[in-house]
């Protein structure tokens, strides 16, 4: 077999189809081509899309793929920022990733869990005073408080709403065009400027975050040449902690949605079985849409499954489609936490936050943080509060990225 045999989507450009079909774009074509890989054209250039376990394995092979020059500019301007860990390769990436993983210790995760509980207790006391509330908006703000406290970022109470709004805009605008994109861009500019100044103050000694925190560690992190990061890059990296913690609001809203749609799950969770709670959380991360795909560039020519893959080709790995791949998951479109009782545990088959290895590759640095926070929130929703879900439009789109239930989950009569 040679290069000509790779299934190819004909036409000049399919960026619009990607926008129109969203999470299903790659999966739809994998199905119609009966192939885990196909060639297309995106952003005016040749691109490859792939999905499934074997595709994830090859995508995370750092001899074959690199991240330099892969992320589209509009994502850098909103979601990622310039010169962050996401765009690094090789030793520079590993060294920077170590900085991230150094704050993910068991002690730090348990500190995170305690302050998540504390913030939920405060929030519930407030919610009891309200008739009804928009759960998505509320959870973003709780998470912003948790993120700042955990990362050692000092905040005044009257700044919290604005920071929540700005961090939210960065990921809510990631797939957007037009005004929403510009909102995300402005939000990033504002937060980066403020964070850069904060890092300067840490270095001058006028702000003293605890030593174990991201603000402290990242402010004093030295690169492979022994230099401190420039303050703009350090700011991007602290924001790489704050922004995605706020984004956990999306998963928490899907937790609430799953509890509403599958009331039998609530009963199982009330038994307090920690293993089942973990399986439920994994299934929420597998089932609901969040990050659609990740992007890299081919580092050097190689052949795979008989296809010749050319250096520099833009390549998308389908995260959502791999989590819904019938080759990996029985009845992938059924919500079934019990499937995780027998899950094979491969780092390439269940990839809501990327796959492969944390240190060697780009797998999400915050996966444990995400699970820890989701566990605490699930326990509150199931065992520590009562609430009602009034009639509303709880449907969610498989097109807009990221996807959030349309009503943003209104709840009422919280007790």
Residue 167 near ligand HEM by CB under 6 A: no
Closest distance between ligand HEM and the C-beta of residue 245, in Å?
Answer: 5
Are 396 and 406 a contacting pair, CB within 8 Å? yes
**Which of 349/414 has CB closer to ligand HEM?**
349
Closest distance between ligand HEM and the C-beta of residue 50, in Å?
Answer: 13
Measured CA to CA, the distance from residue 221 to residue 152 in angstroms comes to: 15
Region near ligand HEM per CB under 6 A, out of 14-22, 34-42, 243-251, 274-282: 243-251
**Which of 207/247 has CB closer to ligand HEM?**
247
Are 241 and 221 a contacting pair, CB within 8 Å? no
**Which of 81/332 has CB closer to ligand HEM?**
81
220 has which bridge partners? none
Closest distance between ligand HEM and the C-beta of residue 60, in Å?
Answer: 7
Region near ligand HEM per CB under 6 A, out of 205-213, 287-295, 390-398, 406-414: 287-295
Closest distance between ligand HEM and the C-beta of residue 70, in Å?
Answer: 9
Residue 232 CB contacts under 8 Å (≥ 6 apart), including other chains: 82, 83, 192, 196
Tell me the three state secondary structure of residue 67.
coil
Running DSSP on this structure, what letter comes out for residue 3?
Answer: G
Window 76-115: contact mask with ligand HEM (x via CB under 6 A): ---------xx----------x--x---------------
Residue 282 near ligand HEM by CB under 6 A: no
Residue 247 near ligand HEM by CB under 6 A: yes
- If binding means CB under 6 A, how many residues of this protein chain bind ligand HEM? 25
Residues 195-234 contacting ligand HEM, CB under 6 A:
none
With 0-12 / 13-18 / 19 or more C-beta atoms within 10 angstroms meaning exposed / middle / buried, residue 90 is exposed
Distance from the Cα of residue 67 to its chain's centroid: 17
Residue 58 near ligand HEM by CB under 6 A: no
Residue 344 CB contacts under 8 Å (≥ 6 apart), including other chains: none
Residue 235 near ligand HEM by CB under 6 A: no
Whether omega for the bond prior to residue 359 falls within 30 degrees of 0, making it cis, is no
Residue 250 CB contacts under 8 Å (≥ 6 apart), including other chains: 136, 290, 402, 403, 404
Measured CA to CA, the distance from residue 266 to residue 260 in angstroms comes to: 8
**Which of 100/307 has CB closer to ligand HEM?**
100
Question: Residue with the closest Cβ to ligand HEM?
Answer: 366
Binder among 120, 135, 136, 251 for ligand HEM (CB under 6 A): 251
Binder among 40, 66, 240, 408 for ligand HEM (CB under 6 A): 240
Whether omega for the bond prior to residue 114 falls within 30 degrees of 0, making it cis, is no
| Nearest CA-CA partner of 36 in 378, 318, 339, 279 | 318
Region near ligand HEM per CB under 6 A, out of 196-204, 242-250, 342-350, 392-400: 242-250
Residue 374 CB contacts under 8 Å (≥ 6 apart), including other chains: 248, 251, 252, 255, 281, 284, 285
Are 66 and 42 a contacting pair, CB within 8 Å? no
Phi/psi at 282 (nearest 5 deg)? -60, -40
Region near ligand HEM per CB under 6 A, out of 37-45, 239-247, 274-282, 305-313: 239-247
Measured CA to CA, the distance from residue 364 to residue 238 in angstroms comes to: 15
**Longest CA–CA separation in the chain, Å:** 67
Residues 333-392 contacting ligand HEM, CB under 6 A:
352-354, 362-366, 369-370
Binder among 18, 174, 245, 284 for ligand HEM (CB under 6 A): 245
**Which of 247/279 has CB closer to ligand HEM?**
247
How many residues are present in the chain? 415
**Which of 257/414 has CB closer to ligand HEM?**
257
**Which of 37/241 has CB closer to ligand HEM?**
241
Measured CA to CA, the distance from residue 314 to residue 69 in angstroms comes to: 9
**Which of 163/248 has CB closer to ligand HEM?**
248
> Where on the chain is the footprint of ligand HEM (CB under 6 A)?
85-86, 97, 100, 240-241, 244-245, 247-248, 251, 290-291, 294, 319, 352-354, 362-366, 369-370
């Amino acid at each position: 077999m040679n290069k000509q045999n790779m299934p190819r989507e004909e036409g000049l450009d399919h960026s619009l189809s990607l926008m129109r079909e969203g999470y299903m774009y790659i999966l739809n074509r994998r199905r119609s081509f009966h192939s885990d890989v196909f060639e297309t054209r995106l952003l005016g250039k040749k691109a490859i899309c792939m999905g499934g376990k074997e595709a994830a394995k090859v995508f995370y092979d750092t001899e074959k793929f690199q991240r330099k020059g892969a992320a589209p500019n509009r994502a850098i301007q909103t979601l990622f920022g310039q010169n962050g860990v996401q765009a690094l390769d090789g030793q520079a990436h590993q060294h920077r990733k170590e900085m991230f993983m150094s704050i993910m210790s068991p002690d730090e995760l348990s500190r995170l869990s305690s302050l998540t509980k504390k913030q939920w207790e405060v929030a519930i006391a407030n919610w009891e005073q309200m008739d009804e509330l928009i759960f998505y908006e509320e959870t973003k703000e709780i998470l912003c408080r948790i993120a700042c406290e955990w990362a050692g970022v000092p905040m005044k109470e009257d700044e919290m709403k604005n920071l929540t709004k700005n961090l939210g805009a960065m990921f809510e605008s990631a797939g957007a065009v037009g005004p929403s994109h510009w909102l995300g861009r402005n939000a990033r500019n504002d937060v980066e400027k403020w964070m850069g100044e904060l890092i300067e103050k840490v270095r001058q000694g006028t702000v003293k975050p605890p030593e174990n925190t991201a603000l402290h560690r990242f402010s004093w992190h030295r690169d492979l040449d022994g230099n401190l990061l420039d303050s703009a890059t350090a700011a991007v990296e602290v924001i790489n902690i704050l922004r995605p913690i706020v984004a956990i609001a999306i998963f928490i809203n899907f937790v609430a949605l799953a509890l509403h749609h599958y009331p039998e799950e609530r009963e199982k969770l009330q038994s307090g079985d920690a293993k089942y709670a973990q399986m439920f959380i994994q299934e929420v991360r597998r089932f609901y849409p969040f990050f659609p795909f990740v992007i890299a560039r081919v580092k050097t020519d190689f052949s795979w499954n008989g296809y010749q893959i050319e250096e520099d080709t833009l390549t998308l790995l389908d995260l959502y489609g791999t989590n819904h791949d019938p080759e990996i998951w029985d009845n992938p479109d059924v919500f079934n936490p019990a499937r995780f009782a027998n899950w094979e545990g491969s780092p390439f088959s269940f990839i809501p936050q990327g796959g492969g290895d944390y240190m060697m590759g780009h797998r999400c640095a915050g996966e444990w943080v995400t699970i820890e926070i989701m566990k605490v929130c699930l326990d509150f929703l199931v065992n520590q509060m009562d609430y009602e879900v009034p009639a509303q439009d709880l449907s969610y789109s498989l097109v807009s990225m990221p996807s959030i239930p349309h009503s943003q989950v209104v709840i009422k009569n919280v007790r």
